[in-house]
Amino acid sequence: MNRRYIISVSALMALGLALLPSSAISQQKSLKEQLVGTWTLVSAIQRTKEGVKSDRWGPNPRGRAIFEANGRYSFMIFRSDVPKFASNNMNEVTAEESKAAIQGMTANYGTWSIDEATKTLTTNIEASSSPNLNGGAQKRIISSLSADELKYTNPASQIGSVDDVVWKRAR
């Protein structure tokens, strides 16, 4: 072997070793770090105990989930097909209008945490549009999480179904 070859190989090895720390730094972030931000609802498919699937929030659902780095969250989903109130006065809605509105939305806020080992997102609900959830916790199993998409399963929704939910990162 000639001396130039040995020097060239040594230089390449040194360069490779110099690049190792930066590649180690770019390793994937934790689930918690990846989840922080604002997400827009794409779909929420519910499955009943009998295996019947349906679109819980109807066509073109609207929703936002905001996960802050400090452990706070807010979450809301609305059906897009809820009829407008006949009266423009919130104090004059009919019982049917109220029922359609409340069944066509959910909203809550509180604190959140991630169990990295089980990929479980837990929300501790401080206040909710459904008073029965106040002070409780909900768990969701993250099936996939990328820079632009979050998929999870809610194994025990409030209505007794299993919900498969997809979100995209808001831009």
C-alpha separations of 60 from 39, 64, 78, 84, 103 in Å: 15, 13, 9, 16, 16
pLDDT at 145: 96
pLDDT at 142: 97
Assign 8 to helix, strand or coil. Answer: helix
The CATH code for residues 30-169 is 2.40.128.280
Domain-wise residue ranges, the chain: 30-169
Residue 149 main-chain phi, psi, to 5 deg? -140, 140
Q: Which residue has the tokens 């989840």?
A: 35
DSSP state of 131: G
Residue 91 main-chain phi, psi, to 5 deg? -85, 0
pLDDT at 5: 53
Per-residue model confidence as pLDDT tens for the chain (171 residues): 565 555 554 544 544 445 544 444 446 889 999 999 999 999 999 998 888 998 889 889 999 999 999 999 999 999 999 999 999 898 999 999 999 999 999 999 999 999 999 999 999 999 999 999 999 999 999 999 999 999 999 887 777 778 999 999 998
CA–CA dist 15, 12 (Å, integer): 5
pLDDT at 22: 43
User: Do 59 and 80 touch, CB atoms closer than 8 A?
Assistant: yes
pLDDT at 27: 62
pLDDT at 12: 47
Tokens, residue 44: 């929420």
